[in-house]
Structure 1
Amino acid sequence: MRERPSARLLVLDPHDRLLLFKFVHLAGALTGTQFWATPGGGVHPGESYEAAACREMFEETGICIDDPGPQIAQRLVTFTMVDGEEVSSDERYFLVRVARADLSSMHWTELERAAIAGQHWWRQAELAETADTVYPEDIIDILTRARVW
């Protein structure tokens, strides 16, 4: 199984709302699945988790950052990619605070354009009440332990 290190972003606006993207898979191995997840993605060979977090932040939100902030969580998980490949991922979660909530999808890949159906800034109570699937599953606990919520 291929190892896929990943930098994930816990992006908070000035009102402590958390940015999540809604993924809806209409084709490929994940057809019919939908869930909410943090921005972020795979670390390129030779790239640090921090550098990947900055790159992913720009690519997925249009916001340029020089520092991803502190790493506040790590998760080891196995999952299926859109093409059906099973990967083992070492996910590192960085806390990023932004001054504005407006985003750009200008730098999204074709895969992101095909799978990301929406975005939402979630309040803690709203996230706690949703019946939707959210990854990581313990995202509220992560932010509570970090004393964000």
Structure 2
Amino acid sequence: MIATPPDLPPSEEGTPVRRVSRVVLLDPDDRILLLHGFEPDRPTDTWWFTPGGGLEGAETRGEAALRELAEETGITGAALGPLLWKRRCAFPFDGRRWEQDEWYYLARTDRTTTDTAGHTDLERRSVSGLRWWTLEELSAAHETVYPTRLAELLRTLLDEGPPSAPVLLETERV
């Protein structure tokens, strides 16, 4: 079980809170890379989400973001930019309840070829692929995408640039 870091109190339900770094990865055409996930026991229950995952050991949030990006997408050498957004979320997945404190970093890359060889066993059982999305495609999508309002958040990012301080997103509980 993942221990609760001293700076994060347990959730209201007493569940340990997992520290997570996520990456808003943009290519030269401002397309965003998302992973297509599903519940392992219910493969028709699907959603799209940004690369990222939990911190390991004493790594920083930025180090975790780049490590997770490399493991989940095969993309290395991305230029990690500023922290854009923060959110708390809670959801059931793979037979347990997850409570997460997520930080979303901007990153840019010229590389658009992906490789999923670094996926964990759980990712191999719950990720069906990756896709680069234009803002227009994301805005028109009828599929579930996390974080909620990602198209709106991306539009603001592309129109106005990164925020001067991280934006606190609404807590999402499923």
TM-score, scaled to structure 1: 0.89
Deviations 1:84-112 (A, max 9, x none): 22232110001111102101111111111
Structure having the higher Rg: 2
Q: Contact conserved, 1:4 with 1:90, CA < 8 A, in 2?
A: yes
1:11 paired residue among 7, 11, 25: 25
Q: Which runs of 5+ in 2 are unaligned?
A: 1-14, 161-174
Q: Which has the higher contact order (CA 8 A, sep 6+)?
A: 1
* Structure 1 residues without counterparts, runs of 5 or longer: none
Q: Secondary structure at the match of 1:23?
A: strand
Q: Which residue of structure 1 aligns with residue 67 of structure 2?
A: 55
Q: How does 1:35-114 map to 2 (within 5 A)?
A: 35-65=47-77, 68-82=80-94, 84-114=95-125
**CA distance, structure 1, for counterparts of residue 159 and residue 120 of structure 2:** 31
1:17 partner letter = R
Residues 1:66 and 1:103: Cα distance change in structure 2 (over 3 Å) = closer
Q: Tell me how far 1:122 sits from its aligned partner.
A: 0.6
SS across alignment from 1:103? coil
Offset, 1:81: 2.9
> Which 4+ residue blocks in structure 1 deviate beyond 4 angstroms?
none
CA drift of 1:67 comes to 5.3
Number of aligned residue pairs: give it: 146
Deviation at 1:145, TM superposition (A): 3.1
CA distance in 1, matches of 2:152, 2:127: 25
Among 121, 128, 149, the alignment partner of 2:132 is 121
TM-score by length of 2: 0.77
Partners in 2 of 1:125 and 1:115 — Cα distance?
26
Residue 146 of structure 1 and its aligned partner are, at CA, apart by 2.5
Q: Distance in 1 between matches of 2:18 and 2:93?
A: 11
* Percentage of pairs with the same residue: 34
RMSD over aligned CA atoms reads: 1.8
